A and B are shown apart, each in its own frame.
Chain A
Amino acid sequence: MIDELANIAKQVLVSMNIQVSGVRLSKDSLHLVNSPLCVVIGLVNKKGEEKGILGFEFSEAFAKYALSCLMPGYNVDMLSEIGLSALLELANMTCGNMLTRISPDAVTTPPTAVFGKNAKMLLNTAPCYRMIFDTPSSSLVVSLSVT
Chain B
Amino acid sequence: MDKSIEKLILESFIKSMCSVYKNLTNKELIIKGVEKMMNPAFKYSEAVTIVGFSGMIVGRMIVAMPKELCAIVYEALGAEQPSDDDLLLAVGEFGNMVAGNAITRINNHLKDANVRLSPPSSFLGRT
Interface: B119 (CB within 8 A): yes
Interface: B82 (CB within 8 A): no
Contact of A52 among B58, B85, B118 (CB under 8 A): B118
Residues of A within 8 A of B45 (CB): 116
In the complex the two chains form, is B119's CB within 8 Å of A42's CB? Answer: yes
Contact of A125 among B50, B51, B52, B89 (CB under 8 A): B89
How many pairs, one residue from A and one from B, have CB atoms within 8 Å of each other in the complex? 88
In the complex the two chains form, is A124's CB within 8 Å of B121's CB? Answer: yes
In the complex the two chains form, is B119's CB within 8 Å of A114's CB? Answer: no
- Distance in angstroms from A117 CB to nearest chain B CB is 9
Q: Which one of A44, A110, A118 has the greatest number of beta carbons of chain B within 10 Å?
A: A44
Residues of B within 8 A of A (CB): 45, 50-55, 58-60, 84-85, 88-89, 92, 114, 116-119, 121-126
Residues of A within 8 A of B (CB): 40-46, 48, 51-53, 107-110, 112, 114, 116, 118-126, 145, 147
